[in-house]
Amino acid sequence: MSDAAPRRVGEHPCARGDLPPPRADLEVVLDHVVGPGDTDHLGHMNIRRYAELAESAIPRIVASVGLDGPVLARLGAVAMATDAYTRHYREQFTGAPLQLRFGFLDADGAGLTVYAELRNVESGDLAATFVQWVRLLGQADRTAIDVPTAAVAVALARTVEWPEHGRPRTLSLAPIRIATPAELRDLALEPWNDGHLAATHCDARGWFVGGLTGLAWGVERELHSDLAEEERSWLHVTADGRSLGLTNVENRRVLVELPRAGARIRTVAANLVIASNRRVRREWSFDPGTGTVFATGDFVDLVFDSGTRRASEIPPGFRAELERWLHPELA
């Protein structure tokens, strides 16, 4: 269905109607003013920055249940999100004062399930919602470590209701199918990124410390074969001169295995579904030499007219481009 109604300035193309007000049961964990480093050349906050802000709050969130830096050090553990879901609402711009509030949905020895909302404190608009599954991993080998029972008890005493507006709309939170090495090697998949993991993004033991979002979006690109800009499917100019783009409205990233310094990491994607005005794509970040998958994720991308800033039906020419990477069998 096309979206022909006018939008508020700064509203995400997927956000329609009134948004829920701030919730009193969520705790403030982070304040952030959107700066030039958070945005593109037009001042729009980059999609990955929403998720990165939520992820950056994890040390404070786990500290709130008694797992601060010194405690984690005694446990020989690090805390990180191994599964993270984001749902976007209203777009934010340079200068926007944002506040992240959180609560716990659940907790057990395996980890903490965190719900969070990012809002513009000036306008009150909801920018995005998040669900993060936070786990403790060993500093030395990155194997799972049980969350102490005292920390679990503190989190369970502060659980909140999972609101409908923070739940997935299109995506599933079921286990994601991991493509086989043969599929990643032989299928026509859309290339997004290719490079080696720099030691500057790793700890003294060589483990990647950039977080799940950084891993899912790819390491710094250095290998350019098969990665020409014309291969990127997020921009398209129609025969009548309209400029169409793809904007993410929902995404989920899942950690499969942490890489170490020097690892080759290539990120590729397949379109699982191409609907009237959006696509669902799945990505894998993997080592093309060994076939080891480090991260995977699902993304719902809405097609919009960059001139009118409204959702658009996918025209035939654009659909043909997206179908180059169509692999419903990988769902």
* Confidence tier at 231 by pLDDT (50, 70, 90): very low
Tell the CATH topology of 169-331.
Answer: Thiol Ester Dehydrase; Chain A (3.10.129)
pLDDT in tens, 134-170: 999 999 999 999 999 999 999 999 999 999 999 999 9
What homologous superfamily is domain 1-167 in, according to CATH? Hotdog Thioesterase (3.10.129.10)
- pLDDT score of 192: 87
Establish whether domains 1-167 and 169-331 are of one fold.
Answer: yes
pLDDT at 149: 98
Q: Which is nearest to 10 in space by CA: 69, 90, 64?
A: 90
Q: For the chain, give the mean pLDDT.
A: 90
User: What does the domain layout of the chain look like in residue ranges?
Assistant: 1-167, 169-331
- What pLDDT does 193 receive? 87
Give the model confidence (pLDDT) of 249-300 as tens digits.
999 999 999 999 999 999 999 999 999 999 999 999 999 999 999 999 999 9
pLDDT at 2 (0 to 100)? 27
Residue 219 amino acid letter: V
- 108: pLDDT strictly greater than 60: yes
Mean pLDDT of the region 197-221: 89
